[in-house]
């Protein structure tokens, strides 16, 4: 419950930022952060309401998560058993950013393919 309150406060603060005088690119970045953080808030709420409180809960493990790695002084992404240094890659078409269960599945599929040194060519509704 405490973490959910923190998430709501962060989202509220980001919404307040959108009401300020931002450049168009900065406004788009903040809007993307709101979309991603709202998705995260909903996932955490589902995990908590389901009584899944273990770190290795599958619903948590199958989410794309980021962690600060002090050994490389940079961010790492994790999903399932895969872990990569975050490369500040292209995040997609920002104005059209929508996170759905299908988005979560393509994140898992593409990241696991990279982790296993396999190719990936997402296309269609599940593609990027």
pLDDT digits (tens, 9 = 90+) for 54-93: 888 888 898 888 889 999 899 998 999 999 988 777 566 6
State residue 29's pLDDT score: 84
Q: What is the mean pLDDT of residues 49-58?
A: 84
The H or E element containing residue 25 is helix 24-49
What tokens were used for 35? 């979309």
What pLDDT does 26 receive? 87
- Residue linked to tokens 């997609």: 92
Report residue 124's pLDDT band, with 50, 70 and 90 as the boundaries. Answer: low
pTM of the predicted model as reported, rounded to 2 decimal places: 0.71
Residues 105 and 79: beta-carbon distance below 8 Å? no
More confident residue, 74 or 98: 74
**By CB neighbour count within 10 A (0-12 exposed, 13-18 middle, 19+ buried), where does 79 fall?**
buried
User: Measuring CA to CA, which residue among 128, 101, 110, 94 is closest to residue 42?
Assistant: 101
Q: How far apart are CA 93 and CA 55, in angstroms?
A: 32
Sheet containing 74-79, strands listed edge to edge, beginning at the edge strand earlier in sequence = 65-69, 74-79, 82-85
- Assign 78 to helix, strand or coil: strand
pLDDT tens digits along 10-44: 999 999 999 999 998 888 888 888 988 898 899 88
pLDDT attached to residue 91: 60
Please report the pLDDT score of residue 101 as a whole number.
83
């Amino acid at each position: 419950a405490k973490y959910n309150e923190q998430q709501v406060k962060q989202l509220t603060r980001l919404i307040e930022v959108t009401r300020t005088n931002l450049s168009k690119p900065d406004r788009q970045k903040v809007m993307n952060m709101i979309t991603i953080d709202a998705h995260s808030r909903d996932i955490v709420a589902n995990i908590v309401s389901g009584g899944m409180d273990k770190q290795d809960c599958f619903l948590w493990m199958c989410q794309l998560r980021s962690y600060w790695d002090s050994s490389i002084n940079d961010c790492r992404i994790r999903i399932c058993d895969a872990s990569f240094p975050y490369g500040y890659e292209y995040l997609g078409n920002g104005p059209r950013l929508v996170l759905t269960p299908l988005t979560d599945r393509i994140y898992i599929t593409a990241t696991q393919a990279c982790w296993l040194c396999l190719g990936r060519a997402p296309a269609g509704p599940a593609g990027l």
